[in-house]
């Protein structure tokens, strides 16, 4: 357990021969001194007890805004950073934690005053000079530097700060953001962001949201990015490299910015040109686009082993095909705007994004969703029999461990749950449910129980509600392949 610095009630020991009256007076004096120092809070929790990552996140406060100022030297692999974290105390606080792994902390202030701090693993415990009252808004500033870490996930994938050819790529799902900035690193605490990154002249630094400033001085260029809508920490990104940057807009006026490694530009062009079309199609199906910009980052294939739905600007290792772009952009609704309360609810992200791929194919002269569903159920969706068997390894809402939260059942079987709902209620009600879900939980958090309750409420009559209730047991929570539909 990380070391906690707490207020201590002093119990004075009277010198031999001291009277009871004198002892009482001394005790009163000490108590008055303690009361006057403002020691009345307790430490915030050092983890939110997530089912798979119990030490991620912290209790006692809610973050409103992150203001990150970063400088990176790719040759030396050296990162300098200042993180200003604006938060509101949700209890009387004597101390609180931020998730932060590696890098050297140079100093911490709370409300401009020096604060004591202690580090233990990923926990940065901060003791402000004055206790914080419940409801109080406070600003914590952490100065740090060093070589940021690459973190290996339980499933052996790599995230955190990834070194690339001539630059870096920061990816955060599920734990990696704490490798490059201190945060309340759990999807349940979303905030707005300002991210400024200074890099050697000739390189770009791409991040989430909108570029508000670009300036060059003394051979270094600073890029300032602003994300006004709430964002979970795992969706924040920084990509540093020599990118081809292009801008356009969707028909509804949403700005599109793509940043592509020149080696991937030719093979990426076809899919990326379709981003405005994809967004328009997704708005028709899922409701209004939830953010103020969109786009993509395409790095070299060796940069990472996976694509990721980083907010407003998904990242791809190598040139993506259209279906993968559809998947990651669908996450802007499912996962980024409507964010899971815990990592147990990953299927709400991936099931919907997988279903988006199936819908796209259905609407663009490919297999119908029903044909895709039947193929998955018949175990001939993949060429390799082991991949087909893996779909039924566990229920989508009950991954057995942290290493399994991104496994096949969360994706394909999650998509099958969505299709079972569509079958049960019919197309008109289904799209009303999907668009109502994204609207009612826009920029918020939700879990599986919230979703099933919402679907039941809006399914229609009692007969339809009975049909959807019959889905949850075998398809969402049941072990093995359900009986043939």
Cα distance between residue 293 and residue 312, in whole Å:
6
Q: pTM here? A: 0.91
DSSP strands (E only) in 357-452: 444-446
Cα–Cα distance, 25 to 207 (Å, whole number):
61
Phi/psi of residue 360, each to 5°? -60, -45
Cβ–Cβ < 8 Å for 295, 333: no
What three-state secondary structure class fits 288?
Answer: coil
Place of tokens 């010198």: 15
* Residue ranges of E strands in 42-136: 42-43, 61-73, 78-89, 93-99, 104-110, 113-114, 116-120, 123-127
Q: How far apart are CA 302 and CA 320, in angstroms?
A: 13
| Count of helix runs (H) and strand runs (E) in the chain | 12, 23
The kind and range of the H/E element at 427 are helix 427-440
Instruction: Give the pLDDT of residue 17.
Output: 38
**Tokens representing 178?**
């704490």
Predicted pLDDT at 484: 81
| Residue in the block written with tokens 């309750």 | 453
Which residues touch 66 (CB under 8 Å, ≥6 apart)? 83, 84, 85, 86, 181, 183, 191, 192, 193, 194, 195, 233, 236
Q: How many Cβ atoms sit within 10 Å of the Cβ of residue 387?
A: 13
Task: Return per-residue pLDDT of the chain as tens, 485 residues.
Answer: 333 222 332 223 333 334 443 434 433 333 333 333 446 899 999 999 999 999 999 999 999 999 999 999 999 999 999 999 999 999 999 999 999 999 999 999 999 999 999 999 999 999 999 999 999 999 999 999 999 999 999 999 999 999 999 899 999 999 999 999 999 999 999 999 999 999 999 999 999 999 999 999 999 999 999 999 999 999 999 999 999 999 999 999 999 999 999 999 999 999 999 999 999 999 999 999 999 999 999 999 999 999 999 999 999 999 999 999 999 999 999 999 999 999 999 999 999 999 999 999 999 999 999 999 999 999 999 999 999 999 999 999 999 999 999 999 999 999 999 999 999 999 999 999 999 999 999 999 999 999 999 999 999 999 999 999 999 999 999 999 999 87
Tokens of 399: 């991954």
Distance CA 295, CA 246 (A): 9
Under 8 Å between Cβ of 211 and 225:
yes
Cβ within 8 Å of residue 408, ≥6 positions away: 387, 390, 391, 393
Burial of 3: CB neighbours in 10 Å, binned 0-12, 13-18, 19+: exposed
């Amino acid at each position: 357990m990380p070391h906690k610095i707490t207020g201590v009630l002093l119990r004075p020991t009277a010198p031999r021969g001291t009277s009871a009256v004198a002892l009482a007076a001394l005790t009163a004096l000490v108590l008055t001194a303690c009361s006057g120092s403002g020691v009345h809070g307790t430490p915030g929790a050092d983890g939110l007890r997530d089912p798979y990552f119990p030490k991620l996140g912290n209790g006692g406060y809610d973050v409103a805004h992150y203001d990150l100022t970063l400088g990176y030297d790719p040759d030396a692999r050296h990162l300098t950073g200042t993180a200003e974290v604006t938060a509101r105390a949700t209890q009387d606080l004597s101390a609180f934690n931020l998730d932060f792994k590696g890098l050297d902390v140079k100093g911490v202030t709370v409300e401009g005053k020096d604060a004591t701090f202690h580090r233990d693993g990923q926990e940065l415990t901060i003791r402000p000079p004055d206790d914080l009252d419940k409801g109080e808004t406070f600003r914590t500033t952490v100065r740090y530097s060093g070589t940021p870490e690459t973190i290996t996930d339980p499933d052996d994938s790599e995230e955190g700060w990834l070194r690339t050819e001539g630059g870096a790529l920061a990816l955060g799902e599920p734990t990696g953001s704490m490798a490059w900035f201190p945060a309340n690193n759990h999807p349940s605490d979303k905030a707005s962001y300002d991210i400024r990154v200074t890099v050697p002249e000739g390189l770009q630094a791409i991040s989430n949201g909108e570029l508000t400033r670009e300036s060059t001085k003394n051979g270094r260029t600073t890029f300032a990015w602003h994300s006004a809508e709430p964002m979970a920490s795992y969706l924040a990104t920084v990509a540093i490299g020599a990118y081809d940057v292009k801008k356009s807009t969707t028909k509804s006026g949403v700005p599109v910015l793509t940043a592509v490694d020149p080696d991937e530009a030719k093979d990426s062009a076809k899919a990326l040109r379709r981003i405005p079309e994809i967004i328009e199609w997704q708005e028709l199906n899922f409701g209004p686009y939830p953010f103020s910009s969109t786009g993509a980052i395409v790095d070299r294939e060796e940069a990472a082993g996976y694509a990721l739905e980083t907010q407003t600007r998904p990242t791809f290792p190598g040139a993506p095909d259209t279906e993968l772009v559809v998947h990651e952009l669908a996450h802007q609704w499912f996962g980024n705007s409507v964010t899971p309360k815990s990592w147990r609810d990953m299927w709400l992200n991936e099931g919907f994004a997988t279903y988006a791929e199936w819908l796209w194919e259905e609407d663009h002269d490919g297999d119908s969703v029903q044909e895709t569903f039947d193929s998955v159920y018949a175990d001939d969706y993949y060429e390799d029999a082991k991949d087909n068997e893996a779909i039924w390894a566990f229920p989508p809402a009950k991954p057995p461990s942290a290493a399994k939260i991104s496994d096949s059942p969360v994706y394909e079987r999650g998509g099958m749950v969505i299709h079972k709902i569509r079958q049960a209620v019919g197309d008109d009600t289904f799209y009303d449910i999907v668009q109502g879900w994204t609207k009612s939980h826009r920029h918020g958090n939700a879990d599986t129980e919230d979703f099933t309750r919402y679907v039941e409420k809006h399914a229609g009559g009692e007969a339809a509600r009975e049909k959807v209730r019959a889905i949850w047991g075998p398809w969402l929570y049941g072990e093995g392949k359900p009986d043939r539909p």
